[in-house]
Structure 1
Amino acid sequence: METDEGSRRVLPFQLQFDKPLASQVKMAEWNPEKDLLAMVTEDSKVVLHRFNWQRLWTISPGKCITSLCWRPDGKVVVLGLEDGTVSLHESFIIRIYSSLISLG
Structure 2
Amino acid sequence: MNHIDPSTRLFPLYDEKVLRGQANKIAWCPTTDLAVIAFQDHVALYRGGVTKIWSMAIPEYTTITSLVWKPNGKEFAMGCGDGTVYKVAVSWAEPRSVVCWPPTKNAQAAAITCLLWVPYTREKTVNANNTFDPLTGRLVSAIPALSMVPPDEPAPLLPRRTKKTPLPHEPTNDGEEQTLLLIGDANGHLYLSLNGIYHIGTVPLLQRFVASMCWETWTRFRCW
**TM-score, normalising length from structure 2?**
0.40
Paired residues, number: 98
The alignment's TM-score, normalised by the length of structure 1, stands at 0.81
Give 1:83-102 correspondences, 5 Å limit.
83-93=82-92, 94-96=95-97, 98-102=98-102
Instruction: Output the CA distance in 2 between the equivalents of 1:49 and 1:82.
Output: 23
Q: CA deviation at 1:57?
A: 0.9
Q: 30, 44, 47: which is aligned to 1:47? A: 44
Distance 2:23 2:49 in 1: 18
Report the equivalent of 2:78: 79
What residue number does 2:36 align with? 38
Q: How far apart are the structure 1 equivalents of 2:25 and 2:49? A: 19
1:59 maps to which of 56, 60, 74: 56
**Which position in structure 1 is the counterpart of 2:169?**
none
Larger Rg, first or second structure (1 or 2): 2
Task: Tell me how far 1:100 sits from its aligned partner.
Answer: 2.8
Q: More relative contact order in 1 or in 2 (CA 8 Å, sep 6+)?
A: 1
More strand by share: 1
Question: Per the alignment, in what secondary structure is the counterpart of residue 27 of structure 2?
Answer: strand
Amino acid at match of 1:34: T
1:10 partner SS: helix
1:9-67 superposed Cα distances (whole Å, 9 cap, x missing partner): 424212233211111111111101111011112x2311111116221111112131111
Report deviation, 1:101.
Answer: 4.3
Runs of 4+ residues over 3 Å off in structure 1 = none
Structure 1: runs of 5 or more not aligned? none
C-alpha contact 2:15 2:50 (8 A) present in aligned 1: no
The one-letter code sitting in structure 1 at the alignment partner of 2:55 is: T
Please name the residue that 2:26 is paired with.
Answer: 28
Identity of aligned residues (%): 28
Letter in 1 for 2:78: L
RMSD of equivalent CA atoms: 1.9
Cα separation, 2, equivalents of 1:95 and 1:15:
32
Take 1:71 and 1:8, find their aligned partners in 2: how far apart are those partners?
Answer: 37
Structure 2 unmatched runs, 5+: 109-224
